[in-house]
């Protein structure tokens, strides 16, 4: 296996032999995954291949039927209290999941105030800095309904960053956006990648995966069928199934 960052950086997320089924329908079949600190790992593949389910298992929103998940070296596969783990593992959803009655500033402040008990003045200062970081300093007092989809997703990214997580999971963060706002979200994510924020990204944005990822995993039918650096996965030497998937994406 390519050395990636493991020679100097510890693993933040390690999943081994992950299995998950809904009734008789297997969704994940013996999936292995490692994300090292400061690394961007992108998971690509056709719809229904288990990518989002994998993220939900890692964030302990779903229980696995088999296998093991380590987070910063701790076995969290079947912890009784997942909330403390989730507080250290940010997640950005497809549909934003903002509190509709809170302003952008209030949404970003909510986690530090309620979970970390950060003093209000400090939480507000940090939240304003994060909104500026994602290009939304002028929208601090706007409600989600007053923001575009791309702006809402950028608030969601700022909210995840506010908890100072060990890593951030992105579940197809641009899939609910119109084409005009996809770019503004990807620009923010690209800047995070350049700052070596640890990220695990499920995406259909192949250009982002090619440009920003340190490591790319290809899933199909609940299995990892190929993985490697972007140059290998997106190159002519990729597997026939990966090449077929990429041709389909480019033709769409």
Predicted local confidence at residue 250, as pLDDT: 79
The answer on pLDDT for 213 being more than 50 is yes
Q: Quick one: the chain helix, strand, coil %, rounded to 5?
A: 40, 25, 35
Report which of residues 121 and 5 the model is more confident about. Answer: 121
Beta bridge partners of 226: 218
The answer on pLDDT for 1 being more than 70 is no
Predicted local confidence at residue 27, as pLDDT: 97
**Contact in structure between 144 and 159 (CB atoms under 8 Å):** no
Residue 101 — pLDDT band, cuts 50, 70, 90?
very high
Q: Where are the domains of the chain?
A: 1-88+168-252, 99-164
Q: What is the CA radius of gyration of the chain?
A: 18
**Contact in structure between 183 and 33 (CB atoms under 8 Å):** no
Across residues 76-81, what is the average pLDDT? 92
Chain-centre distance for alpha carbon 27: 19
**Dist. CA 245–CA 242, nearest whole Å:** 5
Centre a 10 Å sphere on the Cβ of residue 118 and count the other Cβ atoms it contains.
19
The answer on pLDDT for 3 being more than 70 is no
Centre a 10 Å sphere on the Cβ of residue 95 and count the other Cβ atoms it contains.
13
CATH superfamily of domain region 1-88+168-252:
P-loop containing nucleotide triphosphate hydrolases (3.40.50.300)
Predicted local confidence at residue 180, as pLDDT: 86
Across residues 189-213, what is the average pLDDT? 96
What is the pTM for the complete model shown?
A: 0.94
Predicted local confidence at residue 5, as pLDDT: 56
Predicted local confidence at residue 48, as pLDDT: 93
The answer on pLDDT for 6 being more than 80 is no
Task: Quick: pLDDT tens for 155-189.
Answer: 999 999 999 999 999 999 999 899 889 999 999 99
Predicted local confidence at residue 2, as pLDDT: 45
Task: Quick: pLDDT tens for 19-53.
Answer: 999 999 999 999 999 999 999 999 999 999 999 99
Nearest Cα to 111, choosing from 169, 162, 165, 166? 162
């Amino acid at each position: 296996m390519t050395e990636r960052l493991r020679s100097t950086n510890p693993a933040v997320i390690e999943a081994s032999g992950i299995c998950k089924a809904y009734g008789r329908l297997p969704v994940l079949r013996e999936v292995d995954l490692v994300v090292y600190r400061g690394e961007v790992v992108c998971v690509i593949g056709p719809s229904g291949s288990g990518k989002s389910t994998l993220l939900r298992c890692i964030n302990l929103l779903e229980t696995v039927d088999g296998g093991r998940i380590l987070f910063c070296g701790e076995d969290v596969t079947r912890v009784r209290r997942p909330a403390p783990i989730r507080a250290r593992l940010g997640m950005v959803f497809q549909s934003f999941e903002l509190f509709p009655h809170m302003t952008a500033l209030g949404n970003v402040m909510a986690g530090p105030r309620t979970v970390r008990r950060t003093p209000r003045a400090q939480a507000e200062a940090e939240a304003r800095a994060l909104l500026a970081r994602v290009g939304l300093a002028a929208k601090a007092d706007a409600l989600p309904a007053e923001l575009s989809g791309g702006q809402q997703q950028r608030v969601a990214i700022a909210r995840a960053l506010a908890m100072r997580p060990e890593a951030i999971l992105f579940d197809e963060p641009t899939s609910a956006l119109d084409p005009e706002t996809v770019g503004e979200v990807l620009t923010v994510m690209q800047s995070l990648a350049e700052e070596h924020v640890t990220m695990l990204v499920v995406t259909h944005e192949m250009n982002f995966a090619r440009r920003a990822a340190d490591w790319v995993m290809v899933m199909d039918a609940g299995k990892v069928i190929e993985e490697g650096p972007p140059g290998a996965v997106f190159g002519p030497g990729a597997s026939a199934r990966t090449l077929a998937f990429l041709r389909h994406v480019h033709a769409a």
